[in-house]
Amino acid sequence: MFSGSIVAIVTPFKGGEVDEEKYRELIEFQIEGGTSAIVPCGTTGESATLSVEEHARVIDIAIEAVNKRVPVIAGTGGNSTREAIALTKHAKESGADATLQVTPYYNKPTQEGLYQHFKAIAEAVPLPQVLYNVPGRTSVNMLPETVARLAVLDDIVAVKEASGNLGQMADIVRLAGDKITLLSGDDNLTLPVLSVGGKGVISVVANIVPKDSADLVKAWEEGNIAKAKELFYKLLPLCKAMFYETNPIPVKTSLALMGKIESGMRLPLWPMAPANLEKLKGALKDYGLL
């Protein structure tokens, strides 16, 4: 159902509040660059620091600005199943095409708990659901067998895999590749994930270079493996630069240096250390972005 380069879009702030004007401009930048779907309120969108009202507003703006030109996959997950259902209901009522559902963080559910959590959301709100496995953030890893169980449910259509474990991702394809779409959750692994049966990436680096990220997946889809490899290795240093510090600090700093947003993120995130900032500037200059 979803493929290509999908951006986990940042949430720009101005004076500590959501900068709606710059947010709309970023969405246009993505669509012009060939991005195949927009994900508001993911990890990169600082969803954990948004109030419930802001969360809803950011999703509403994305849906309105996109205006059905590409799908909007609204981040509505959480570590409370009730809260995730409430956020998902709002996204559906606002016109989102799907939701991104992170594995519940901090409370560390069992595999059965994960299954029941996502199943409860799917039953409460009939809307396509993209599972999001990111154990480095959540302290829980959703196993391929659990993904395969969930893939039987009609509204669970894809999984964003950010475990870093390519073997685990291959197992998802082996167990349920006919029922669920595998998407890379790590720009550093986009090409390897495509090679084991993935269909695209939910990307951080696409925030600053949407066209190159989109062209990489498109080249693979068209069977132009040489071009896909060329773009992957061109992007790789920039992808790594996006994680010199905790995401989304480097990508938001990059967008500010490029003049696309004002610099700023919410506490407890903090501006980059001087040495890392200089490294980031070097990576952006090497890529021709500064």
Report the chain's C-alpha Rg in angstroms.
Answer: 18
DSSP output for 213-259:
HHHHHHHHHTT-HHHHHHHHHHHHHHHHHTTSSSTTHHHHHHHHHTT
SS3 content of the chain, % helix, strand, coil (to 5): 50, 15, 35
Q: Which of 22, 160, 199, 252 is catalytic?
A: 160
Q: Within a 10 A sphere around the Cβ of 270, how many other Cβ atoms?
A: 11
Whether the Cβ atoms of residue 53 and residue 45 lie closer than 8 Å to each other:
no
Selecting among 115, 132, 244, 287, the annotated active-site residue is: 132
Handedness of CA 75, 78, 81, 84 (dihedral sign): negative
For residue 195, give the H/E element and its range.
Answer: helix 190-195
| CA 151 to each of CA 9, 128, 191, 199: distance values in angstroms, whole numbers, following the listed order | 26, 11, 23, 16
Known catalytic residue: 160? yes
Per the CB < 8 A criterion, the answer to whether 280 and 241 are in contact is: yes
Identify any residues that bridge with 156 across adjacent strands, giving them in sequence order: 129
Other Cβ atoms closer than 10 A to 102: 24
Residue 192 preceded by cis peptide, ω within 30: no
Residues annotated as part of the active site: 132, 160
